[in-house]
Structure 1
């Protein structure tokens, strides 16, 4: 049963940490919707891999704290040579003595006034804080994928609008030339149309450059080039009110939870430094076998001692360390207040931004409708001679501006919706239900929290895990 459990833990942990392995067997399908983009970012993010490794390093600090209350056993081998010279003023004798010895030395801290235990609790709280920091990094990675996807979509729509605008302006230029040939308009009208066509060409080239930059950013955030974009991303469920959003954030935001654990860790560290002023009890034992290199003689010795020690004076270093730990605790508490206010402010800003984007999109839709009606009407009137070429060009520009504002409003709404989700601490692969193997930080911690010895089976399992992660 133990072998089966270890094998399952090993498989699950390696799968969770092996982004390159997941992508190396076959070419990844190009992302065509927002979920695919976030899945790609979650699987391939170097930032996530970096912080997962940092969390595993922090897990080992718990093991180190546990090990401090365990015996330390050393194997010792010694080679000694002594030269002794004796004399009484008239006669001198000398003696050479060579000894080879081997033995075991044992040192065991039996009592340290709770210092090691408090250090262990501080390390455990630091692990919990680092886990929440990892979730915050995950939110940043996923939001970067959202930004990259929305920006590609925005630039694609912008290129399409400007391409269509260029086509319409070229039609107007041809119409202006035709009317000029029959004397209905002047050379000025033709020049105006030519100027607008040239400007539209320049704008289209600029938009195409922006699209290439957006695709490059997408590759950096997601790990693969975007395929045909499926369309506007689905928006997350709308929160009922600002107060509800703030309440959710206070319960879930990883930055806040991380700082709460940081305060607890600093509190335990402060208590540990205070206890460090107390006594300690240490057991020491040894067993030695020695032989005379110059003769057949051997000697076996063993012994044990229990030492109670109390440092009386250390130049003020212990008191200084205690005061410094108290100051760090106060600093962490101050940071907690700052974090709480920052989370509240971020939620408020994201909520207002989302409401503003929604209202802006409604206005933009109405603006596009009105601008299209005006453009169609003015262009029809121009064919009858009631409108000038300049009127048509201005109406076309007004329609283009309205359409551009609408696609920008759509992008702003999507970004604001996911920014609000992030500000509440809910922009995670688990909450979004992404089709990925969720990284479980408890797997590695459970393997190392009891500080397995290097020769143990669990330690060998950990070595296999680390080697597998190193290949990724």
Structure 2
């Protein structure tokens, strides 16, 4: 009687376990995929908007620097009251005329040793550096979206595995209780099953909490709530060797290119400060009308002057500015070396992580295969009465743990692949071919690089661009 009961319970439990292990979580056809996550992040990132605005500010610095090479024209209105009292040959004269002046003045730089030109070129290099910094921010935004998507995917699959585990341990508890009722096991066996079920429920609660956390991060990174994920993404095209990856990074990484342009900008800044030690020549012109309030007299007034200026002593300020510019240039050169070394190390680390994750996935897959074979064998032995119910569920638990490890390894491999792309400087919307409107940094620059006047057509075009960008 007891043998028959044991056989029935073992067969029922084996059937329940088999169904649970082969069940697949259904996913809707409209599930979110990794590309959707990156598109959402690119279109809604406040960090990208912030750095695009900083780039436009750098564009305006070029226009400001260019304006130093152009004439400055001012319209002036001036009212003066003179007080003049004199005594000549015993005669006291009190002359206090009131005058009104209106006119136009012009100032034009003729020569400054190319200091203003160097300033303009330095501003242009800063623009190029800022563009590359914007690309690096774009990489950070897209990588965060990748991490958010994969974390949601991992959390969902973990919850599914934990739910299966709770169901199976519930079946185990019921089977153990039935066996206890017929006197085959002791109260200790029942308590052990209850303990394992309670632990499984606690693990499921933790997994659901992790899923909620991952979904909150997804909303922050992507800009909307995630739907059901579409599964593991396909791997991007990766370099065949570490050397190839390092060489690609040296040519393409925006952090390296940004640092290179910054070095050039500060080289030009040094040249600008040195040129400022030399002489400058400036043309001044004034034309206007002077009227006396005391009578109806007026005069047309015009003046043209050429001013040569050479600083002799300025309290050491000019020499200090040159030395400061040189120190900043030297710091930028050292920074470039550090960035290059950090990028090389980052590529090597990312490549090693990907190789490690690939090997780990291979091992985890083999572990799942072996655990599946072991579970199938123990289940068969249980139907013959050679194994207990607890033996079957221990094997089932090993199989679930192996599958959980495999899911984690597969997620880690996908993440490390995109981290390797970012380490090479290739994780950008344009290189990935994302279906987004790629931000063109040259559009705004081309409108402002010639420093258009406020009333010009080009300035009105700028106003329309700013309105399109939702700026006042």
Give TM-score scaled by structure 2 length. Answer: 0.91
Query: For residues 184 and 377 of structure 1, what CA distance do their matches in structure 2 show?
Result: 23
Larger Rg: 2
Question: Secondary structure at the residue paired with 2:398?
Answer: helix
> Please, which moves more after superposition, 251-260 or 457-466?
457-466
Deviations 1:418-439 (A, max 9, x none): 0000011110111110001110
| Corresponding residue for residue 242 of structure 2 | 242
| Corresponding residue for residue 424 of structure 2 | 424
The 8 Å contact of residues 112 and 278 in structure 1, kept in 2 or not, is answered as: yes
| Corresponding residue for residue 66 of structure 1 | 66
Cα displacement (A) at 1:380: 4.0
The 8 Å contact of residues 238 and 421 in structure 2, kept in 1 or not, is answered as: no
Query: For residues 380 and 186 of structure 2, what CA distance do their matches in structure 1 show?
Result: 19
Question: Secondary structure at the residue paired with 1:470?
Answer: coil
Query: For residues 87 and 315 of structure 2, what CA distance do their matches in structure 1 show?
Result: 46
| Count of residues in Structure 1 that have an aligned counterpart in Structure 2 | 444
Query: For residues 432 and 199 of structure 1, what CA distance do their matches in structure 2 show?
Result: 44
| Corresponding residue for residue 9 of structure 1 | none
Cα displacement (A) at 1:373: 2.2
Where in structure 2 are the equivalents of 1:266-281 lying within 5 Å?
Answer: 266-281=266-281
Distance 1:201 1:221, change over 3 A: same
| Corresponding residue for residue 261 of structure 1 | 261
> Please, which moves more after superposition, 153-162 or 391-400?
391-400
Question: Secondary structure at the residue paired with 2:362?
Answer: helix
Query: For residues 59 and 188 of structure 1, what CA distance do their matches in structure 2 show?
Result: 76
The 8 Å contact of residues 75 and 105 in structure 1, kept in 2 or not, is answered as: yes
Question: Secondary structure at the residue paired with 2:305?
Answer: strand
Distance 1:352 1:174, change over 3 A: same
Distance 1:434 1:66, change over 3 A: same
Where in structure 2 are the equivalents of 1:354-365 lying within 5 Å?
Answer: 354-365=354-365
Deviations 1:61-82 (A, max 9, x none): 1111111010101111111112
Deviations 1:199-240 (A, max 9, x none): 111111110111011011000000011112111111101311
Cα displacement (A) at 1:300: 1.1
Distance 1:31 1:468, change over 3 A: farther
1:144 aligns with 2:123: no
| Corresponding residue for residue 176 of structure 1 | 176
Query: For residues 217 and 153 of structure 2, what CA distance do their matches in structure 1 show?
Result: 12
| Corresponding residue for residue 294 of structure 2 | 294
The 8 Å contact of residues 357 and 409 in structure 1, kept in 2 or not, is answered as: yes
Question: Secondary structure at the residue paired with 2:84?
Answer: strand
The 8 Å contact of residues 176 and 193 in structure 1, kept in 2 or not, is answered as: yes
The 8 Å contact of residues 63 and 448 in structure 1, kept in 2 or not, is answered as: yes
Distance 1:86 1:48, change over 3 A: same
Query: For residues 365 and 205 of structure 2, what CA distance do their matches in structure 1 show?
Result: 26
- C-alpha RMSD of matched pairs (Å): 1.7
Distance 1:31 1:117, change over 3 A: farther
Deviations 1:355-405 (A, max 9, x none): 111110011011111112222333443454433454334323322221111
Cα displacement (A) at 1:88: 5.5
| Corresponding residue for residue 204 of structure 2 | 204
Query: For residues 360 and 287 of structure 1, what CA distance do their matches in structure 2 show?
Result: 83
Residue segments in structure 2 that go unaligned for 5+ positions in a row = 1-28
Query: For residues 75 and 322 of structure 2, what CA distance do their matches in structure 1 show?
Result: 36
Where in structure 2 are the equivalents of 1:73-472 lying within 5 Å?
Answer: 73-87=73-87, 92-470=92-470
Cα displacement (A) at 1:291: 0.8
The 8 Å contact of residues 189 and 389 in structure 1, kept in 2 or not, is answered as: no
Query: For residues 458 and 40 of structure 2, what CA distance do their matches in structure 1 show?
Result: 33
Give TM-score scaled by structure 1 length. Answer: 0.91
Query: For residues 62 and 301 of structure 1, what CA distance do their matches in structure 2 show?
Result: 36
Question: Secondary structure at the residue paired with 1:177?
Answer: helix
| Corresponding residue for residue 20 of structure 1 | none
Deviations 1:120-154 (A, max 9, x none): 11111110000000000000000000000000000
The 8 Å contact of residues 193 and 389 in structure 1, kept in 2 or not, is answered as: no
